[in-house]
A and B are shown apart, each in its own frame.
Chain A
Amino acid sequence: MIPSAFDFYAPRTLDEAIALLAEHGDEAKVLAGGQSLIPAMRFRLAAPAVLVDINGIGGLDGLRETNGHLAIGALTREAALEEYTFIRERYPLLADAAHVIADPLVRNRATVGGNLAHADPANDHPAVMLAYGAELAAHGPRGARTIPIDDFFTGMFSTSLEPDELLTEIRIPRPGPGSGGAYLKVERKVGDYAISAVAVQLTMDGPTIRTIRIALTNVSPTPIRAEEAERILTGQTLTDATLEAAGQAAAAACDPSADLRGSIEYKRDLTRVLVKRAVRRAAERATK
């Protein structure tokens, strides 16, 4: 399995990279971690004429926590997310997800930004960032802009990024007191995409859910939020009945396709179960 030939550029600055993307248009692809792109190229499912490798651009990686948010450089390797105690402590949803993305070797190359920008509904970060209500910073020839995550995914493998724009940073609002989160994924084996996975981020007010965002992985053509489930749970205490209602609402909201991972019915029902469990776990963490 050998990729088609291409021209390779390794810009050292953001502006150079953007200029290359602008120059080559649809012929060019951004190479970040390459853990989805390179296998696709080996199968010649992708055959870009130009690769713009952004790994050499300084300042695009690393984690920074400010008073308002956690900033994750787009080039931050997935493995880095597992290496900080503060992530485990304050961003358990992110920590949960980091541990179940692909496998440890892939996580050493794969990037958070690539996972999002690839916009594969099977990827894990889209749901995580939807649940966090993250904001994405992008850079293009017309300058920088921020995109709310809710506006980012426009279709299967497509985003609101322009072809000459680069995702540079992901900003997760810093969870306040009473916050908790969880990511629950059922996969056929380590390294697999989810049969279904559920991301939950919430804040508790005593026993009551004050705010909650729920998002789903690999059960729709695009990464989606389970908004009806969120509505059902907001302002409620955790009872079996409300959880069940929320789970059912999420199951109804998703639009899975049948494949080797499971039937439509299975994926919906699994989503229902995982929503209930993830909300419970997030709430437990919030009140701990």
Chain B
Amino acid sequence: MSDQLDPLRALDEAGERHLPDRVERHTPKPAGSSAIVETSHEVRVTTPATVCGMGHRMKRKEDPRFIQGRGTYVDDVKLPGMLYMDIVRSPYAHARITKIDASEALKVPGVLAVITGEDLKQAGNLHWMPTLMSDTQMVLPIEKVVYYAQEVCVVVATDRYAAADGVEKVVVEYDPLPVVVDPFEALKDETIVRDDKELKTNHIWHWEAGDREATEHVFRSAAKVVKQYMHIPRIHVASIETCGMVADFNKATGKLKIWMTSQAPHAHRTVFALVSGIPEHKIQIISPDIGGGFGGKVPVYPGYVCCVVASIVTGRPVKWIEDRSENLQADSFARDYHITAEMAADADGRITGLRVRTLADNGAADAAANPSKFPAGLYSICTGSYDMRAAHIAVDGVYTNKPPGGVAYRCSFRVTEAVHMIERMTDIMAHELGEDPAAFRLKNFIRPEQFPYRSPTGWEYDSGNYHAALKLAMEMIGYEELRREQAEKRTRGELMGIGISSFTEVVGAGPSRDYDILGIKMFDSAEIRIHPTGKAIARFGTKSQGQGHETTYAQIIAEELGIPAEHVEVEEGDTDTAPYGLGTYASRSTPTAGAAAAVAARKIRAKARTIAAYLLEVSEDDLEWSVDRWQVKGSPEQHKTIQDIAFAAYTNHPPGVEAGLEATDYYDPPNLTFPFGSYICVVDIDTGTGEVKIRRFVAVDDCGNIINPLVVEGQIHGGLTMGLAPALFEEIVYDENGQNLTGTFMDYLLPTAVETPKWEIGKTITPSPHHPIGAKGVGESPTVGAPPAIANAVVDALWHLGVRHIDIPITPQKVWKLLRDHGITE
């Protein structure tokens, strides 16, 4: 392989001056809580439809308001006297600010204030804020801007039209500076993005996982080594609702009430308290209905801080709602990993090792939404579904003149990058060895009896049955027949490809010994209160953005207590009422808060037993639980239902026992969960135009026990579509000046119903052995698993021509170029 195809070699050469004192290492510790579990194909249902516990296809409880246009999103909040904020943004990616003149703007009717970085500085150094990765980020600049569309100052006016007029009238003068867009160029440190830092370098951190020496050894003795450079490009979550806030600071009470598009309202409250100095009990954050998050609503953006300041300054409520172009141009991105990977195999075609060098383009600040100890997220899951002897992963983070990040894009911290790499490499190895990619995977998978499986990078996979999932996918799609068809078509010059991805996810962060954000441990919480009539309210530290928590959490509680799910009101997102939690992202809600719901319900069930024993005048040991009641063993007609017990808890509670029936649980998971699946994609390629048509796509997912099959199906369909999107359509593109060329939906291409195939889904069920209800989390698996299935299918169609790899997004132009380069035309 030539050096051109291995730009990361330059990183090794440049690395000397970066590495020695800046190495961070992290190896997850084993949990020791796992056991072998059986795989099944049927959803487990233990409660009748009247109770609607786990496994029921319950229609979502939150839907009636949405289908009638009665949801309440942030932009729907309207307060008396409310002002509007709009933002002046930089037309340069790197420039000194020489002047900000707001005088004309202040003459616009309705414009009340223009707030600059200098104002924030005067207000107590609020012009900088910490990122979630303990880096710093400008709220509003004083000296220079470091990315295109960066917030420069804000205009506050009586309505949004006046605010927009004001923005147009602010005069900002810039002195442009050299721009560094390419992260490899950035490593040369010729242009320093962050000259506010003591160390004048764009290199941020170096991070390693695995065993370097053992990996070198494996590679030295390998019979076959394949190597590939790939770029997983910058993309944007582009939830259909953009970000926004209504901030209402009441000078009389000193209370700051905030409605914001937040996936993590509690963590955001703590950040606001620490940054602003407002006592935390005087800050209430309400995350109302959220129009999609996907990770984009985890960070604190400068606009939020400005909106709060604007309310404090004016003493009136202030609303800020992003435009789509602001959202695409300035909010946090996802991915942007440059990867050189090598895979080793022995003479029998067994994968023996993996060596990965990665450059992470973080933009102008390390504002990744990762657990603190994991600057590259959970990327070291990248040995994937394959049993190998050794692996070593090194990642370097670098600053460039681009918006800071990154966030997830519907994936657990950097798992998509890891899965894309391992699944591409596995396919390349299979093809190079002349083996069928399916057979090659079946040969190399971690075997069911190896679980709990300790990976070479230190993970302990809780449960899995990779063979069952792939075999089911092959059966559903008719794999052997497709291979025959492909061979036959190839003789006629027609190009079709079959691509497989057999991914392993890692979600549910996470155990407190390893996982925190800004020091706050990544537990999550549930608080359940049973009313006298046997109905319940349950509150959580998470926040649904469409995942259906109001339904699925109610079903978990119904499962555990027998209270019909329709009688359980689920509330999230109000920091004044909900228990503290870290929020919803990285598929963590079911693994953490879902577990907390079950555990809290079990605490209630235990107290209910005491009450039932008192009411039935038997010993607690004589009672057994059945669906919704404690009954006397061997004499089930003697029982007390949960409703009987709830009533008694308030009207006739046992002496010496507290009245009431409620419980809270802060669940600290013993391990993460490891959902998995196998996807098979069939594509046809138009040799004239380069267009790729997905003919079929079969997805077999295993997310452990299923709470609501309807919701799980929806999560999988949606996740697959957000896997399709970066595979074929989406990419944030910058020109050499750092201008975003894809700043609207006219060029940032979200798939419509036409481009999206009719997904075919199947399932296996291999419960998590350590999770209270055996569930694993599912929302992101398909986003993680789908892109390599599509990429592998396209490469599979072209491999015989000499094509080994195509970077996503696989656009018609890229395919056309490869076809013509390899002599195929129409």
Contact = CB atoms under 8 A, between A and B. Distances in A.
Direct interface between A and B, CB < 8 A: yes
Contact of B816 (A191, A192, A266, A277): A266
Interface in A41-63: 43-44
B689 A189 contact: no
A186 B688 CA distance: 11
7 contacts: A4-B165, A103-B752, A186-B812, A188-B811, A189-B749, A190-B752, A263-B813
Nearest 9 pairs of A and B residues by beta carbon: A2-B164, A273-B688, A262-B813, A190-B754, A266-B813, A1-B323, A190-B752, A2-B161, A189-B749
Contact of B812 (A2, A44, A262): A262
Given A2-B160, A269-B820, A260 B741 contact: yes
Contacts of A4: 165, 168
B494 to A, nearest CB: 16
Interface string A264-287: 001001100110110000000000
Nearest to B688: A273
Interface string B812-826: 110011001000011
Nearest to B161: A2
A129 interface: no
Contacts, number: 65
B816 A269 contact: yes
Interface of A: 1-2, 4-5, 43-44, 103, 186, 188-192, 195, 260-263, 266, 269-270, 273-274, 276-277
Nearest to A42: B323
A257 B323 CA distance: 29
A43 B325 CA distance: 10
B733 interface: yes
Given A2-B160, A260-B742, A270 B689 contact: yes
Contacts of B688: 270, 273, 277
Contacts of B435: none
User: Which has the most chain B C-beta neighbours within 10 Å: A4, A5, A188, A263?
Assistant: A188
Interface residues of B, number: 31
A42 to B, nearest CB: 9
B691 interface: yes
Contacts of A262: 811-813, 816
B752 A1 contact: no
Contacts of B690: 266, 270
B751 A266 contact: no
Nearest to B816: A266
B628 to A, nearest CB: 49
B826 A273 contact: yes
B160 A191 contact: no
A103 B752 CA distance: 10
Nearest to B752: A190
B755 A190 contact: yes
A188 B689 contact: no
A127 B622 CA distance: 85
A30 to B, nearest CB: 23
Given A188-B812, A190-B752, 4 more contacts: A2-B164, A192-B746, A266-B812, A270-B690
Contacts of B165: 2, 4-5
B747 interface: yes
A1 B168 CA distance: 11
Interface in B721-736: 729, 733
A273 B749 CA distance: 24
Contacts of A190: 752, 754-755
B812 A195 contact: yes
A276 B687 CA distance: 14
A188 B742 CA distance: 13
Nearest to A273: B688
Interface in B300-337: 323-325
B733 A260 contact: yes
Interface in B163-200: 164-165, 168
A44 B688 CA distance: 39
A188 B729 contact: yes
A44 B168 contact: yes
Interface in B675-699: 688-691
Interface in B105-150: none
B812 A192 contact: no
Given A269-B816, A270-B689, A277-B688, A189 B729 contact: yes
A191 B325 CA distance: 18
A4 B820 CA distance: 48
A4 B825 CA distance: 49
Contacts of A1: 164, 323-325
Q: In this complex, which of A44, A186, A269, A276 has the most chain B Cβ atoms within 10 angstroms of its Cβ? A: A269
Contacts of A270: 688-690, 812, 816
Contacts of A269: 816, 820, 825
A16 B756 CA distance: 48
Given A1-B323, A192-B746, A273 B813 contact: no
Contacts of A195: 812-813
A278 B293 CA distance: 43
Given A263-B813, A266-B817, A273 B689 contact: yes
A207 to B, nearest CB: 22
A186 B751 contact: no
Contacts of A189: 729, 749, 751-752, 754-755
Nearest to B819: A269
A239 B813 CA distance: 27
Contacts of B161: 2
A44 B746 CA distance: 16
A262 B811 CA distance: 9
Most buried by B among A44, A261, A266: A266
Contacts of B826: 273, 276
B421 to A, nearest CB: 26
Nearest to A258: B813
A2 B326 CA distance: 13
Nearest to B733: A260
Nearest to A262: B813
A30 B155 CA distance: 32
A260 B747 contact: yes
Contacts of A186: 689, 691, 812
A200 B324 CA distance: 38
Nearest to A43: B325
Contacts of A192: 746, 749
A241 to B, nearest CB: 14
A189 B812 CA distance: 11
A276 B746 CA distance: 29
A102 to B, nearest CB: 11
Contacts of B752: 103, 189-191
A273 B691 CA distance: 12
Contacts of A44: 168
Nearest to B817: A266
A195 B751 CA distance: 17
A273 B825 CA distance: 9
A180 to B, nearest CB: 20
A156 B662 CA distance: 70
Q: Give the interface centre of B689, B746, B825 by most chain A CB atoms within 10 Å.
A: B689
Nearest to A263: B813
Interface string B790-826: 0000000000000000000001110011001000011
A56 B806 CA distance: 53
B600 to A, nearest CB: 46
A277 B687 CA distance: 13
A262 B813 CA distance: 6
B372 to A, nearest CB: 37
A2 B159 CA distance: 11
Interface string B751-791: 11011000000000000000000000000000000000000
A192 B825 CA distance: 25
Nearest to A270: B689
A179 B752 CA distance: 35
B329 to A, nearest CB: 12
B816 A188 contact: no
A266 B817 CA distance: 8
Nearest to A2: B164
A186 B751 CA distance: 15
